[in-house]
Amino acid sequence: MEKPPLRDSAATNAASAPPLLNTLTPSHRTSLNRAFAAVYTCAIVALFYRHTQTLLSSKTLVSFYVTLTLFVSDLILAFNWASGQAFRMRPVYRKEFPENLEKVVKTSDLPGLDVFICTADPYKEPPISVVNTALSVMAYDYPTEKISVYVSDDGGSAFTLFAFMEAARFAAHWLPFCRKNNIAKRNPDEYFATSTDYKMSSETEDIKIMYESMKMSVEHVVETGKISEEYNTSDEVRQAFSQWSIDGFTRQNHPTVIQVLLDKNKDKDNTGNSLPNLVRVSAAMTNAPVILTLDCDMYSNDPTTPLRALCYILDPEMQSNLGYVQFPQEYHGLNKSDIYACEHKRLFKVHPVGYDGLSGPNYLGTGCFFRRRALFGSPSTLILPEIDGLCPDCVVNQPLTAPSVLELAHHVAGCNYENQTKWGSKIGFRYGSLAEDYYTGYRMKCEGWRSIFCYPEMAAFLGDVPFNLLDVLSQNKRWAIGLLEVAFSRYSTITFGVKSMGLFMGLGYSHFAFWAILTIPITTYCLLPQLALLNELGIFPKVSDPWFLLYMFLFLGAYGQDLLEFVVHGGTIQRWWSDQRMWIMRGLSCFAFGLTEFLVKSIGVPTEGFNVTSKLINDEQSKRYEQGVFEFGVPSPLFVTLTMAAIINLLSFIVGLVHFIVDGGSNKEGLIMQLVLTGLIVMNCLPVYQAIALRSDKGKMPTKTTVTATLLASAVYVVASLFLK
């Protein structure tokens, strides 16, 4: 993207420095992080020295296999810890000054902004929620004639189109209302739901009535499953929906549907100002130099967000190789303790700060401002698409409704267009992984692009979170599979990544790519010590053994550093506990199933594809979530393995505690570590025990799951007892 013309500064002091657009401050913890990493590395080396000694001196097969299992598990944990140090080598914090932007570039010279909002299922992603997201970005503090909003509906839903036709009419009133009253929250649903944020007036009341009317119409259409004749009031509307009457039109297989809902050259708001472009289906219709990608439920919470991004994009010192500016994913509606750890503080806040000190954060799938040029090859090599009109520097001067523009848009929006082209492999967003956001950002970094993590005090975007455990685990399983697809591809992070980006960035990406293999150590430490405890077999050092101090340092050091980072970045101890509990739960369920599904898929067996995470809110589930109660409710294999481990740990803790108190004996000291570890896991599994035995609501553990898990736990105990004895 070319640098916009600067303001003439001849009238000012020529020797004065240009206005400051952004600053960078290294973290004060960097030196401590590096010192701790050096000490902890020595401790890990000592641990493997002990494992090696124990292996070589093993006198029985049981001792040998137990030690080997612990060795492999600790090796994976050591790799996970070592790769995570990449984020701690040079964390930095940035601050931008959007108020200085007008001193650097004229408002008329600001770059165009294309906003892409993706949705796929009107029943899991309510159209009214998607509409609110679109309205929040259409109302940005940015020249409206430079904003184009594209809604990509992979599900081909007529309900979504209907919702946006209603939204286009409402926008003519909502956008000038936001500008006139300088509203911060420009998602109408959120604005009107927060009574303290506005003062009721006749104008506000009128806008609220218009919004409620639109909302009722959209929700009625989705609920009834049809668009009644009362809404087909014009030839334009009837023509738009006629495409759904074509024979063979399905969600999976349908012709390209493009509908220009608002055109900046024709449509005006109620004050006479131009409205932003609003189009169903994304294409090459405006080709703006800056692109914002958004999830359909991730609405804008700060109208100045584009200006904050431009503080980096327009910085001449960064322009040559800056690919994108990533904002953190933040959520509204989290309960006090965030029981499902949906905040993902490390993934979305802590680690990007560490990435930013290297070559920048990864693409998180939403809340990201791309330079269009960055999607077409490396900073030094422009890869041209097959069609000239798709080039990043192509300027579109024709109206959206021009026949040539619509013809090209229909052509490139077809699902078969990219076949035998460079799209998805060398240019554009990359295909080949269920974690397409991670893969796209990773490939861009390998090409030489850098990125910026913009983390303002006021959340730039806010999204919805799942309210039940199954949705959370299913989503994490999909991520785990997608990350493994990258880890074991020709572009593996540990080989290709390290070679292309350097050691620390390669390790940083590997930290996530091999996420799912954490199921091995997590499962090991949730089952092996417990089964050994049931058989009164000690596998850890005695308290009087000097090696006991090493184990304590490794455990407390890792957990202590993790807690410190979590709290420093605005977390609470209560949410940290939920976060580490979900780490265990993921390892026992979705990581295990994700790894298994990936291995099955690798040998050619077809598996489940992409499933949209539901954004629907059930009143009963919502109430339980607010109370901090886990939602199980429906039978799922993901719950079986988790429940099985919980049962084994509870049995082991009770039996081990009885033996410890009643029997005593010489082996008492050798079982303390196993007993403490089992007790900690039992504490983490309290929601499972409550769901099994103490609850009668619809979110309790299904009886089928409990029975299956109990039988499996019994079988595992019997087999382990035969082996360990």
Active site residues: 154, 437
Q: For the chain, give the number of residues.
A: 725
Amino acid residing at 472: V
- What DSSP string describes 444-509? HHHHT-EEEE---SS-SEEB---SSHHHHHHHHHHHHHHHHHHHTSTT-IIIIIHHHH-HHHHHHH
Using only C-alpha atoms, what is the Rg of the chain? Answer: 28
Task: Give the residue from 414, 401, 666, 677 showing the smallest Cα distance to 529.
Answer: 677
Cα–Cα distance for residue pair 584/609, rounded to 1 Å? 25
Element at 259 (helix H, strand E): strand 259-262
- The answer to whether 700 is annotated as binding is no
Residues near 203 by beta carbon (within 8 Å), at least 6 away in sequence? 177
The helix or strand, by DSSP H or E, that contains position 575, with its residue range, turns out to be helix 573-588
Known binder of ligand: residue 697?
A: no
Strand 322-326 to strand 450-453: parallel, antiparallel, or no bridges (unpaired)? parallel
Q: Which uninterrupted H or E stretch holds 22?
A: strand 22-26
Give the dihedral of Cα atoms 552, 557, 560, 563; nearest 10 deg.
-120
Give me the sign of the Cα torsion angle 387, 390, 393, 396: positive
Task: Count CA atoms within 13 Å of residue 304 on its CB side.
Answer: 17
Amino acid at 571: G
Distance of alpha carbon 596 from alpha carbon 593, whole angstroms: 5
The dihedral formed by the CA atoms of 419, 425, 431 and 435, expressed in degrees to the nearest 10:
180
C-alpha span between 113 and 106 (Å, rounded): 16
CB-CB contact of 377 with 430 (8 Å) = no
Handedness of CA 59, 63, 65, 70 (dihedral sign): negative
Task: Identify whether the C-beta of residue 133 lies closer than 8 Å to the C-beta of residue 160.
Answer: no
Helix (H, G, I), strand (E, B) or coil at 369: strand
Q: CA-based diameter of the chain, in Å?
A: 90
Question: Which own/partner contact pairs does 574-578 have at CB distance under 8 Å and 24+ positions apart?
Answer: 574/336, 574/337, 575/337, 575/338, 575/341, 575/343, 575/345, 577/337, 578/337, 578/338, 578/339, 578/340, 578/341
118 DSSP β-pair partners: 152, 295
| 124 among annotated binding-site residues | yes
Tokens for 625, please give them. 């979530």
Query: What three-state secondary structure class fits 153?
Result: strand
Contact by Cβ (8 Å): 684, 536: no
8 Å CB contact between 175 and 305 = no
Token pair in block for residue 93: 């914090």
The answer to whether 636 and 470 are in contact (CB under 8 A) is yes
Annotated binding site for UDP-alpha-D-glucose: 124-125, 154
Known binding positions: 124-125, 154
